[in-house]
A and B are shown apart, each in its own frame.
Chain A
């Protein structure tokens, strides 16, 4: 049985039919041909397929596509600025040398974007306005769900730190 779902994919409203067991990752990659979201393990362990669902980071390989109905989904393609230039998150990753093979990078970028969003909207400490930048330890903890085999994470954390110093 197919389910019809309507959701916002990178700010554009889309409607499609999906099987109940289809996961969001496969819908994005195979249905919408957005190949920037990477399949690293298909079992929720590596974080390479991280996308944003209503601004929160989600392993799209574990998220059933039917649950996207009515939600806002943002992929790496939607992070890039509309004029094709790099979003601040992408810019700091490039500048900081945080990209090697790059297979984890889309997921890392989306996680960092989600963290930025949380800080910008003050969700990190409910009821308190932003006072402090997230420190290095908080960044490390936040990125724990994204595996990387090339970089040793140092430059990815550097990038996030640089971003928060710029943005917040």
Chain B
């Protein structure tokens, strides 16, 4: 019998929500240090240009200006995943966000005014805004900092992966479908714009940064490299972060620029982006072209997939260039697959640079794959639910890429949404008429509003992702003499609720009230190392790290409790701030201590022979005091570093990259207005293999928030560009969804209890948005009985598709 969980699995509200809902939480925008200056950045006027001269003399003379810097004034290294990104641009501009100069001034107004006084002479170039143009031989080299590694001068990175015998599987295929998809630019649009406050101490030459980075330790190291400093001389403190979603995985030029302004002036300097700047100068979801050819045999088994991807990298390389790690995983390992060949190339252009974004390439991959699965089913004449169920991943499977599915809820997720959405009574047959009208008043034929339903599923890492040398997280835990607990964790809170989930775990294990648990997680000088918030890893990795630390701490506490209780029992229960010994009542039990200790797991402790007497306990705070004040005088403190069991992939990208894998499926109903082209998402049925529900309230928040980002990706959100310039850098023209647009979301968590996860839990953060666009596209195609290929599915695209269908119909009739 397993002990019943008391805190884990309950809907504990976010512990820091009170601070945020009263306006007391301090975000980067709210920091005001004594004597602080305001920094501002001059960006290029042209996405591609030679910078002939920069004249800062007038700006320097303006009263209230403390400092003006250009590339000539600083001695720094490039930043970025490939170190191909200069902080301040010298000689040429290659991207609309390019930083030419920066100023620090007494007020924001003076800083802005100073920017206007800087005179830059440009020689405008034509620029390259298309990946295929960039790959042509005569194209000029866009980024001069990487050379020689690849066959083409404008290639930033390539990935090649394969498993199985592709040619053989092609021969076995009864049907083959080939499609090319173009995926749009989507931006994070965090509600808080990018911000940093730097404070350099000229006396000890140490730099303090208030930064909203998601990865403070990697950031500290990258910042030190950029500024030619020792990483340990840089302290990173995270104020409350107003949204991340992957945008803060990289260091961006404004951050070392702010540090440089502080170093030059010896005063604190703050840079806050305007909303327009946020649209122009923060990274975006990787735009890409995906060519997918996939086959199925006559029985509906998937045979092979061949994938060629060209990604628009922009002018510099971010962590986003590594998204093919995740993309190839979905192509190689979502549904059983015999053979796969995958190629991805990231190409430099003069477009805005692409970063990482929640899902890390997976929404793009899943969109292409799940669209093509629908097309394969059509060719085969097989039901679209059936083909998915037939090929679904299973527990115990080791995929072609070497992913180990120790637990797998893929089939159950699909089954759940198929049943809950009444998929089969709703779905239109392929000529656009309803098979069954039980659910709908009218048929689609002849009506203005056409309804459709689409399915899609997804695979994502659920136990971190070992793409950095360590995927670990450190924890220090202490209990004070008054029975309060402090968790010092390497992980970060970026709004997702990690503080709350960690506090719940400590409360569960130590029997300490949540109000008495503090989580310290914002300061690199204090907290142990961690690789940061990404890959849906925090609850899993930081949770396991905390549980490891608690285990060590409890060994110490148990020992002292045993002394105080004059008990030789070694099993204890922690509840209500007390420690209860579990007395062994079975006198026939072997008294061999070694044997006894090995049996005293928590499970055994709850069998009949070990019982708890509610009046037989010692108070936890007393135990801590006695630890401090009696021999051998020690602290109630423990440290633990958790490294997931995952493996770094080999050069062929094979290996078990995550501690566990998350699966999800969505069935989405849409209603398309054939007069306006407007797509309304009415209902979303989502089932997700979360391993174990740790907190239903916070889990629901992740699901709903992720899904709405997915709906935006599917229908409305696109950063429009023309010759390298962004045409819609504001919320008026970049269409984020509002409260009035939300569909009904029906969520069904699937618990597979992964032994690697804390209490069996897997990562959940990214998964909800991954299959959404695919399922919506499938639903729209189902409603209209035609193909809509590219995202976002705007009314304009729907009307065009409808018009071309009508033309086809007319042409067919005329023949």
Contacts and interface: CB of A to CB of B under 8 A. Distances in A.
B242 A97 contact: no
Nearest to B278: A41
Interface string B8-23: 0001011001111111
A61 B703 CA distance: 32
Given A95-B13, A99-B21, A102-B242, A154 B700 contact: yes
The majority secondary structure among interface residues of chain B is loop
Nearest to B25: A102
Contact of B730 (A41, A148, A153): A41
Interface string A136-151: 0001110111111111
Nearest to B12: A97
Nearest to A92: B21
Give the interface size class of chain A: 35 or more
B242 A80 contact: no
A94 B18 contact: yes
Contacts of B189: 149
Interface stretch (A32-40, A65-73, A121-129): A32-40
Q: Which of A96, A101, A103, A155 neighbours the largest number of chain B CB atoms within 10 Å of its CB?
A: A101
Contacts of A41: 275, 730-731
A155 B700 contact: yes
A35 B30 contact: yes
Nearest to A84: B22
A100 B496 contact: yes
A99 B497 CA distance: 9
Nearest to B734: A45
A43 B243 contact: no
Contacts of B14: 94, 97, 99-100
Nearest to B736: A147
Given A101-B241, A103-B242, A109 B191 contact: no
Nearest to B245: A149
Contact of A154 (B19, B704, B736): B704
B738 to A, nearest CB: 5
Contact of A93 (B17, B697, B700): B17
Given A45-B730, A97-B11, A102-B17, A149 B742 contact: no
A46 B191 contact: yes
A8 B709 CA distance: 39
A148 B191 contact: yes
Q: Which of B23, B25, B188, B700 neighbours the largest number of chain A CB atoms within 10 Å of its CB?
A: B23
B693 interface: no
Nearest to A146: B739
Give the interface size class of chain B: 35 or more
Contact of A76 (B23, B26, B242, B704): B23
A168 interface: no
Contact of B701 (A105, A106, A151): A151
Contacts of B731: 41, 43, 45-46, 147
A60 interface: no
Given A95-B13, A153-B742, A147 B191 contact: yes
Contacts of A104: 191
B601 interface: no
A39 B20 CA distance: 15
Contact of A36 (B23, B193, B706): B23
B377 interface: no
Nearest to A150: B705
B26 A35 contact: yes
B745 interface: yes
B27 to A, nearest CB: 7
Interface string B466-505: 0000000000000000000000000000111100000000
B101 interface: no
Interface in B182-198: 188-193
Contacts of B242: 38, 101-103
Contacts of A95: 13
Interface in B50-70: none
A37 B22 CA distance: 10
A86 B739 contact: no
A90 B21 contact: yes
Contacts of A39: 29
A144 B739 contact: yes
B365 interface: no
B732 interface: yes
Given A101-B243, A156-B739, A150 B27 contact: no
A150 B495 contact: yes
16 contacts: A35-B26, A38-B192, A39-B29, A77-B23, A86-B22, A93-B21, A101-B20, A102-B242, A103-B27, A103-B243, A141-B739, A143-B739, A145-B738, A148-B191, A149-B709, A152-B745
The list of the 6 closest CB pairs from A to B, nearest first, reads A36-B23, A102-B20, A101-B495, A103-B242, A152-B704, A152-B708
Interface of A: 34-43, 45-46, 48, 75-77, 79-80, 86, 90, 93-97, 99-106, 109, 139-141, 143-157
